[in-house]
Structure 1
Amino acid sequence: MEKAAKVVRHILNIAIAFSLALMSILVFGNVVLRYAFNSGITWSEEMARFLFIWMVFLGAIVALKENEHLGVDMLVRKLSARWKKVVYVISNLLILYTLWLVLEGSWGMTQLNMDSSAPATGLPLSFIYGIGIVMSVGMGIIVLRNLYQAVFGNKSGDELIMTRESEDLPADRPDSQGGTT
């Protein structure tokens, strides 16, 4: 199971890096063409926008897996281990419900826009709304796994806190300033 998760995470990271690289090339190339040759690629801005949307949604899946999303845990840190587990289960059930709403809405929008195409690229607009399906299914699997581990596993109360303070990060991990935390 862990090996499959590692492979999927690797594929997601490659897709994110590919999206960022292609988006940068398209935008930079279009800027050079506009200023140097007074021309441009008509579909590059639209494709960069599509790639950005996919990159953000795929990044949200990876961030959930790594517990990198923002969270407020002032109250949860003060609770006993039993209540931390209760709050953890409730919050994950709320997340699952929200993901269901995203899945349902994305599925509807994807079906609705199958015959509509983007003006510059000609890609079906369902390409944009389909990422909501991918994201909600991917995140749903992660949340279900976390719920299973919380209910049937032997996670401690501190492991159930989803956010991490900068002091909780490993000492060898560099921070955004180039130093270590």
Structure 2
Amino acid sequence: MKRIVDGYFNLLKFIIAACLAMMVILVFGNVVLRYAFNTGISVSEELSRWFFVWLTFLGAIIGLREYGHLGVDMLVSRLAPTGKKACLIASQLLMLYATWLFLQGSWQQTVINLDVMAPASGLSMGIFYGVGVVFSVSAGLILFYDLYRVVSGKLSEAELVMVKESEELAEVEELQKELDEQERHAHATDSRR
């Protein structure tokens, strides 16, 4: 199962890279064509906007899985393990509710716009709104899994705070863990001698 999940997220990363590459090609190509040849790619603006929306939502899925979203942990990090657990359960339930609302709206917009054609490309606008469905289903599964891990007690106390105040603080904590690990390794090597 882990291989399937990892494969799915690797596929998402590939799609994000492909969307970014296509955006660069379309926008740069359009600029060159406009200035050098006084012509352009008519679908460039529309498709690059679609690629941007898709890569943003797919990136949010990956960020959710890797706990990459920033948050405020000032209060939660100071709570006892029971308080941290209660706050995490409450936040997971609230995020599941918001994801459910987002899924409902995205599904309705996708269905409504399936037969509506985009002005420049002629593609179904359902493709544009479909990313909300992909995001909601993926995020919902991630949130359910994390909620299961909290309720079943499979998370350590350190994992009960899933957000960080800033990226710099997260990097400092990661470096501190690496230094502590190196120290333990050095002490273990010294004690063997």
- Shift of the 171–11 alpha-carbon distance from structure 1 to 2, 3 Å rule, reads farther
8 Å Cα contact 1:72-1:163 kept in structure 2: yes
- What is the match of residue 31 of structure 1? 31
Please list every run of at least 4 consecutive aligned residues from structure 1 whose deviation after the TM superposition is greater than 4 angstroms. Answer: 170-173
2-structure distance, mates of 1:171, 1:18: 35
- 1:52 matches 2:52: yes
1-structure distance, mates of 2:61, 2:85: 23
Deviations 1:107-143 (A, max 9, x none): 0111111111110011111111110000000011101
Q: Describe how 1:22-171 pairs up with structure 2 within 5 A.
A: 22-164=22-164, 165-166=169-170, 167-170=172-175
8 Å Cα contact 1:80-1:157 kept in structure 2: no
Q: Which is worse superposed, 157-166 or 88-97?
A: 157-166
The amino acid of 2:29's aligned partner reads: G
- What is the match of residue 17 of structure 1? 17
1-structure distance, mates of 2:35, 2:106: 38
Task: Calculate the TM-score normalised by the size of structure 2.
Answer: 0.86
Structure 2: gaps of 5 or more residues: 179-193
8 Å Cα contact 1:81-1:156 kept in structure 2: no
Structure 1: gaps of 5 or more residues: 174-181
- What is the match of residue 187 of structure 2? none
Percent of counterpart pairs with the same letter? 47
Q: Number of aligned residue pairs: give it.
A: 173
The amino acid of 2:109's aligned partner reads: M
Displacement of 1:49 in angstroms is 0.4
2-structure distance, mates of 1:119, 1:154: 50
The amino acid of 1:74's aligned partner reads: M
RMSD, aligned α-carbons: 1.6
- What is the match of residue 186 of structure 2? none
